[in-house]
Amino acid sequence: MQTSPLLENILNDGATPCYICEEALLEKNLQLLEHIQQKSGVKILLALKGFAFTPLMNLVGKYLVGCTASGLHEAKLAKEFMGKQIHTYSPAFKDDEIDEVLDLSDYIVFNSFTQWKKFKQKALKHSSCGLRVNPETSASPVDLYNPCAPFSRLGIVEKNFLHHELDGIEGLHFHALCEQNLDALKDVLKSFEEKFGKYLKQMKWVNFGGGHHITREDYDVLGLIELLSDFKSRYKNLTVFLEPGEAIGWQTGTLVSTVLDIVDNGMQIAILDTSAEAHMPDTLAMPYRAEVRNAGKSGEKPYLYRLTGNTCLAGDIMGDYSFSKPLKVGDKIIFEDMIHYTIVKNTTFNGIKLPNLGVLQKDGRFIVAREFGYEEYRRRN
Ligand SMILES: *Cc1c(COP(=O)(O)O)cnc(C)c1O
């Protein structure tokens, strides 16, 4: 077996920032999902919203049955790079896009009865049609990521569910979780069945959405298989879909950056050629602290630095990290677990360069799959 090259040595200074997705780590996640599909009989889709890494989309397609798209562009990407099942849900579809969406989508999910009635005649000709419901139960950690928060626009609540408008509807969909374990799914599923279980006998499929943190180390995989098998035994006519995004890209790679300068203003502040705001937005939005390879919390190691971005936003700060030796200009700083909900959310804010996309292949070879420069900024401004 070849040993992987040290990430620090893969890239010269001009080649950072760069996301590096490791094929072997992605495949490990996919194998676990494949195991769940086989043991429980459910079908698993990739939600492109969280992970749309096209250089390795082929690999995802070897294990999963298709993609979940949130609209026209994601559906097009699914078709171009995976070409398997396409399930499309959008909070609202547009008149000038719906024909193309339907053409691409094997399954389509509407967010309201108004949208369903508006597009019903067309939709029935192309796709298997479903409705998104809101189970009104969620233990999502923050409201920004809680589809069941008060006044949520996402999904139909029980009191608005028009049981006489279901002619042509073949599936129900809910999505209520975010980075959660099996206990949260159990609560949501119970509420879903209490409110909408009576309609399942007339359905062909049900979609349990995403937010299942299946590939995280402490996830109760056996419990999930048991729960899904039990559900399937109670509703034998139903195909069950799960559509995680984060679980697929979870812990599959890094963002590698370079120290450009170190300044002192009451503490040592390292300026990197990347940005929390533009390249790791959830560290500011969620917020959470990203792990940095070979670094500790403040006080854990002798040399403390504030790691910051190379934009003019004062708050473009990744956090304070300690190192076992002093940092110097040119050093590489490696942010862990930076493949999901990063690349898909990147911006060219302040004209900062988008990180390239690299792949560390299973055979140990490294390739830069996508390179970005001025053009991305220019076209959007
Ligand atoms: C975001 C989203 C997903 C994927 O969620 P993850 O947390 O990435 O697993 C799936 N389905 C819908 C409808 C979503 O909005």
Ligand 1 nearest-atom number relative to CA 341: 8
Q: Is the CB of 319 under 6 A from ligand 1?
A: no
Ligand 1 nearest-atom number relative to CA 179: 7
What is the rounded average pLDDT of the residues 5-20? 80
Query: Can you give the pLDDT at residue 379?
Result: 96
pTM to 2 decimal places: 0.96
Q: Is the CB of 50 under 6 A from ligand 1?
A: yes
Whether residue 268 is predicted with pLDDT greater than 70 in this model: the reply is yes
Query: Can you give the pLDDT at residue 5?
Result: 62
Query: Can you give the pLDDT at residue 10?
Result: 77
CATH topology of domain 6-20+253-338+346-378: Lyase, Ornithine Decarboxylase; Chain A, domain 1 (2.40.37)
The predicted-structure confidence for 98-119, as pLDDT tens digits, reads as follows 999 999 999 999 999 999 999 9
The predicted-structure confidence for 309-321, as pLDDT tens digits, reads as follows 999 999 999 999 9
Q: Using the mean position of ligand 1's atoms as its centre, give its distance from the Cα of residue 74 in Å.
A: 13
CATH topology of domain 41-249: TIM Barrel (3.20.20)
Here the tokens at position 161 are: 């569910």
Q: Using the mean position of ligand 1's atoms as its centre, give its distance from the Cα of residue 210 in Å.
A: 4
Q: Which of 49, 88, 213 to mutate to test the pocket of ligand 1 (most atoms within 8 A of CB)?
A: 49
Q: Is the CB of 49 under 6 A from ligand 1?
A: yes
Q: Is the CB of 245 under 6 A from ligand 1?
A: yes
Whether residue 217 is predicted with pLDDT greater than 60 in this model: the reply is yes
What is the rounded average pLDDT of the residues 221-225? 98
Whether residue 171 is predicted with pLDDT greater than 60 in this model: the reply is yes
Task: Name the segment(s) of the chain with CATH classification 2.40.37.10.
Answer: 6-20+253-338+346-378
The predicted-structure confidence for 284-313, as pLDDT tens digits, reads as follows 999 999 999 999 999 999 999 999 999 999
What is the rounded average pLDDT of the residues 252-278? 98
Q: Is the CB of 132 under 6 A from ligand 1?
A: no
Whether residue 2 is predicted with pLDDT greater than 50 in this model: the reply is no
Task: Name the segment(s) of the chain with CATH classification 3.20.20.10.
Answer: 41-249
What is the rounded average pLDDT of the residues 38-43? 98
| Band of pLDDT at residue 142, cut at 50, 70 and 90 | confident
Q: State how far the Cα of 250 lies from the Cα of 113, in Å rounded to an integer.
A: 35
Q: Is the CB of 246 under 6 A from ligand 1?
A: yes
Q: Using the mean position of ligand 1's atoms as its centre, give its distance from the Cα of residue 342 in Å.
A: 14
Q: Is the CB of 332 under 6 A from ligand 1?
A: no
Q: Count of residues for the chain?
A: 381
The predicted-structure confidence for 50-69, as pLDDT tens digits, reads as follows 999 999 999 999 999 999 99
Q: Is the CB of 46 under 6 A from ligand 1?
A: no
| Band of pLDDT at residue 13, cut at 50, 70 and 90 | low
Whether residue 1 is predicted with pLDDT greater than 70 in this model: the reply is no
